[in-house]
Amino acid sequence: MAGKNSVGLGVQAQPEPFVDADAVASFLSVERRQVLQMARRGSIPAHPLIGQGKGTRCMWRFRLSEVADAVSQTGESGFTSLATRSKKVEAVPGSKIGEKQ
């Protein structure tokens, strides 16, 4: 069977399953809210599932391979967690916080 490919051998590849925002948040080490924001902005590939009734919210589904490709192309600096993004505000030396100037 040398040189023969696997096409036609009766083996079918399983399509990659869709995952929810929680799984992507865990995968990227960010908060769920940030994943949904990135999906709405188009920063990561996402597949919206529209609800049935009037006023229903859009549910987002993702494929981890697509998200991983987007992260590797963009660079991980754009996908830092909210915890590492927030910085403590430090007072300027010689000034008092809350003091009118």
DSSP 33-56: HHHHHHHHHTSS--EEE--SSTTP
Q: How many other C-beta atoms are found inside a 10 Å radius of the C-beta of residue 76?
A: 10
Residues in contact with 40: Cβ distance below 8 Å, sequence separation at least 6, in sequence order: none
Under a CB-based contact definition with an 8 Å cutoff, are residues 34 and 25 in contact? yes
Residue 40 Cα to chain centre, angstroms? 10
pLDDT surpasses 50 at 79: yes
- What pLDDT is attached to residue 50? 78
| pLDDT, tens only, 39-76 | 999 999 999 987 766 667 789 999 999 999 998 987 65
What pTM was estimated for this model as a whole? 0.60
